Amino acid sequence: MNTPAHLIFGAAAFGRSARPGTLAAALAGGLAPDLSLYILVGWHLGVRGTDAQVVFDELYFSDFWQGIFAIDNSAVLWGVLLAVAAWRSWPLLLAFSGAALLHIALDFPLHHDDGRPHFWPLSDWVYESPFSYWDRRHGAGWIGPVEAVACVALTVLLWVRVPDWRWRGVFGVLLGMELAASNVWWIVF
């Protein structure tokens, strides 16, 4: 899934306007598994001037990058953090780790040849799904619209649940980013 979709899904599932901070924690958790990718790609494309084809065809699949992705995409580590949050009744950590774990659960079936080792440190195995959220050869032509419709529905739900206009603005911007990102993948690939 596109990262803005992960933030919308995480906020809808774990953010509560009656619990201060959980919306922000859920948004941060929805972003956390992709954050290292943005940092690494941003560094190489924006600072070092590395060619995009090298970044996405070589560096992305390098042992170094995959080692980083193994940590921040580990369902095992996020699951432990979620269990601790539930045991200690820490709502902010629960929203953060829950949204991150939801992110991983939604990514698992939607990465054909670019998945992550979601069961690290127990295993380095990477599931190769028959589906891809971005690759039209593996269903992106119908997955993208389903993702976009789900994001519209969840954004409406968030607007209903969260009366603060600032949060509504944040969700509107995320929805706009999601719809733009979905169209970019359809055009590029």
Residue type, 53: Q
Tens-digit pLDDT profile for residues 60-89 = 999 999 999 999 999 999 999 999 999 999
Residue 27: which H helix or E strand, with range? helix 22-42
CA atoms within 13 A on the CB side of 111: 17
* Comparison of pLDDT for 182 and 123, the residue scoring more: 123
Kindly list the domain boundaries of the chain, sorted by start residue: 3-184
Query: What is the greatest pairwise CA distance in the chain?
Result: 46
SS (H, E, C) 77-100: HHHHHHHHHHHHCCHHHHHHHHHH
CA atoms within 13 A on the CB side of 123: 7
Provide φ and ψ at 59, rounded to 5°: -60, -40
Burial group, residue 10, by CB count within 10 angstroms (0-12, 13-18, 19+): buried
Tens-digit pLDDT profile for residues 28-48 = 999 999 999 999 999 999 999
**pLDDT over threshold 80, residue 183:** no
Distance of CA 110 to CAs 52, 76, 128, Å? 22, 19, 9
Confidence band for 20, pLDDT divided at 50, 70 and 90 = confident
Residues in the chain, how many?
Answer: 189
